[in-house]
Amino acid sequence: MLKRLQLAASASLIALIFLCLLWELWLAPLKPGGSWMAAKAFPLLLPLFGILNGRRYSYQVSSLLALLYLLEGSVRATSDTGPSQWLALAETLLALVFFCSVVAYARLSAPSRNKSASPSGS
């Protein structure tokens, strides 16, 4: 189960990074020729190696980061029009998948879940 969650988190994070870059540089930038909004992909690079390597702390911190992208996608999906609206919906879905998978991974990999049941005393 943890491997599937790690795969879902890794795939959705990488897809979210590429979506942010493509969206703001080529597909539907705020300004023709690209915009500085592409820099929103850089914070997603910070937890990337921790997510790929299954580090629980990276998953915990990433859950908070994912909420920012979920919020931005939701706002732009309801306020933008045209291709930008569809890209915002894709961002929202990817951020939701990422959020759910990192939270589930962090929960299931908790040290308290990995301990074997100790024998009870008298």
Q: How many other CB atoms are there within 10 angstroms of residue 73's CB atom?
A: 23
Position 115 scores a pLDDT of: 67
Q: Print the domain residue range for 71.
A: 2-112
120 located within any domain = no
Q: How many other CB atoms are there within 10 angstroms of residue 25's CB atom?
A: 15
Please give the model's pTM, rounded to 2 decimal places: 0.88
Q: Which two tokens stand for residue 59?
A: 């998953």
119 located within any domain = no
66 located within any domain = yes
Residue 97 in contact with residue 12, Cβ under 8 Å? yes
Position 50 scores a pLDDT of: 97
The 10s digit of each residue's pLDDT in 93-112 is 999 999 999 999 999 998 88
Indicate the DSSP class of residue 87. H
For the chain, the farthest-separated pair of C-alpha atoms sits apart, in whole angstroms, at: 74
8-24 mean pLDDT: 97
Number of domains in the chain: 1
Position 121 scores a pLDDT of: 46
36 located within any domain = yes
Position 116 scores a pLDDT of: 54
Position 37 scores a pLDDT of: 86
121 located within any domain = no
37 located within any domain = yes
The 10s digit of each residue's pLDDT in 33-92 is 777 888 999 999 999 999 999 999 999 999 999 999 999 999 999 999 999 999 999 999
